Structure 1
C-alpha cells in the first residue's frame, strides 16, 4: 500500500495497526552524554592540570599564554590533516588518541606532553554533570522511566558517572567505542531500546546534535534536540520532563 507520495527513509517498520493506533506514551529516555548530560571541565582548568603534571605550569603564567594556546588549538583544528584524523575518532580509544595527539602536536604548550594531556582528558573528574542533570535523572527514576545513554565516546564513560555518584540513575550505556559504530547508526538506538526492554516508538532520544542524535527518528523514536551551545549553567533538561507522562518539571 502506498501511504505517501514520497517515502521517508526509516530503519523501523511499524505495522499497519501501529500506524493507526495512538502514539504510545514515553516509557524510556535515551540521552547523549557529552554536552547533554556532562561537559568537559573548563579549558583553563584542564591546561593547568596538564601543566602541573608535566612540569610546565609556569608557562601558563606568562602574559597572554592562555589566549595564545586557545588560538593555536583553534588554528590547528582546521588543518586538513587534523580534520581527517577526527573522522571516526570515537570508534575506538586508539583512533581517538591518534586524533587528539595529532591535533595537540601543533600546539606549543602541548607538544611533547600528549600522554599527560590525554590522561587528564580522560580522568574520572575531567567531565562533570550540568547542574540539572542529577535532578532530571532522579525525576525520571521517580516516575518509573528507564534511562540509557547513547554516546559517541572513545572510552568507558561510566567512570565519570561513578565518580559523580550517578551510575545508579542509568540503566544502560551504549557507547560507540564498545560497538564499533557511531551515531546516527540505527543499531546503537535499537540496542539501547532492547537493553531497556522498550519499543522504539515509546522511547525519547535527547541530545544536542540534529544529525547524530536526530538520527533516532528513523528508528521510530521521538527526539528532542537541545541548543548546541557551550552551556556552563543548567542545560535546560527540565524541559524534557514536560514531554513525559506527568508533564511537569521536577524541582529539587
Structure 2
C-alpha cells in the first residue's frame, strides 16, 4: 500500500479493502455527559442550596453578596495552584474532591462549607438534561441505534440519568473515574464501542470539547462537536439525527 507523505495521527489502521469500501452506516452514538446532554443547575441555585445546607443562606441576601461570591469563584479558578489541581481531576473521586476543595477554599462563602458544597454538587437533581436530550435519545432508540455515554466524570452519573427517568435510554456508560483515565485516551472510546457491540467506524461521538471528545476521530469514530457555549434552552442535539440517517 502506498503511504501518503503525511498521515493523520491515528490509533487504528484500515485494510485496503476497508479503504475502498463504502463508509459504514452509523450503528451507535456516544455522548459526552456534561454540557452535551446534561448541565449543572445554575450557579445561583447551587449557591442557595449550599447556603441552606450549611446554615449560611442569609449571607447571600445582603446586597451584592451573590455577585461577589460568583466573582471570587471565577477569580480563584485562575490561580495557578487551583489550575494545577484540576489536572486529571476526574480519574478518581478523591482527586476531584481535592480539586474542588482547593478551589472553594479561596471563596469566603464556601470556606468551611466544602462538604456541604460537594454534596449539593453531586446531588441527583443537581444535573439536569437539556430540553432536547430526551427527544433525541428516544428518536435514536426508535431507529434501533445503540446509545452510550463516554464522560470525564468523578462519580456515577447514572444517578442523574435515573433521577430524570432517562437511564433506560442509555445502553452503556464509560466513565473516567471507573476507568482511571480521561478522554482523549483511546481506550475509553474503544471500550464504549465494544460495550455496544459496534465497530468504531460505525459509531458517532457527540461532545463539546474538540480535544477531549474530538480525540474519538483518531480511533476511527465519526465525531460531532457542539459549540462550547452555555445553554439553558435546546442544545442543538437534533442535528445528530441528521448525521445518522
Kindly state the Cα deviation for residue 14 of structure 1 after the two structures are TM-superposed: 1.9
Q: Deviations over 1:57-93 (max 9, x none)?
A: 0001000011100110011001010000000000000
CA distance in 2, matches of 1:175, 1:34: 12
1:7 aligns to what?
Answer: 7
> Which 5+ residue runs of structure 2 have no aligned equivalent?
none
What secondary structure does 1:84 align onto? helix
Counting only pairs closer than 5 Å after superposition, residues 46-65 of structure 1 correspond to structure 2 as: 46-65=46-65
CA distance in 2, matches of 1:15, 1:181: 29
Counting only pairs closer than 5 Å after superposition, residues 30-49 of structure 1 correspond to structure 2 as: 30-49=30-49
1:186 aligns to what?
Answer: 186
CA distance in 1, matches of 2:7, 2:227: 29
Give yes or no for the alignment of 1:130 onto 2:130: yes
CA distance in 2, matches of 1:136, 1:95: 33
1:70 aligns to what?
Answer: 70
2:141 aligns to what?
Answer: 141
Q: Deviations over 1:207-250 (max 9, x none)?
A: 000000000000000000000000000000001101112xxxxx
1:172 aligns to what?
Answer: 172
CA distance in 1, matches of 2:185, 2:32: 14
Q: Deviations over 1:177-201 (max 9, x none)?
A: 0000100000000000000000000
2:152 aligns to what?
Answer: 152
Structure 1 residue runs of 4 or more that deviate by more than 4 Å after TM superposition: none
CA distance in 2, matches of 1:23, 1:240: 17
What secondary structure does 1:148 align onto? strand
Q: Deviations over 1:128-158 (max 9, x none)?
A: 0000000000000000000000000000000
- TM-score, with length taken from structure 2: 0.99
What secondary structure does 1:30 align onto? strand
Kindly state the Cα deviation for residue 3 of structure 1 after the two structures are TM-superposed: 2.9
Q: Tell me how many residue pairs correspond in the alignment.
A: 245
2:161 aligns to what?
Answer: 161
1:79 aligns to what?
Answer: 79
1:201 aligns to what?
Answer: 201
Cα RMSD after superposing both structures: 0.6
CA distance in 2, matches of 1:98, 1:75: 18
CA distance in 1, matches of 2:220, 2:237: 22
1:109 aligns to what?
Answer: 109
CA distance in 1, matches of 2:230, 2:155: 22
CA distance in 2, matches of 1:50, 1:72: 16
CA distance in 2, matches of 1:186, 1:146: 19
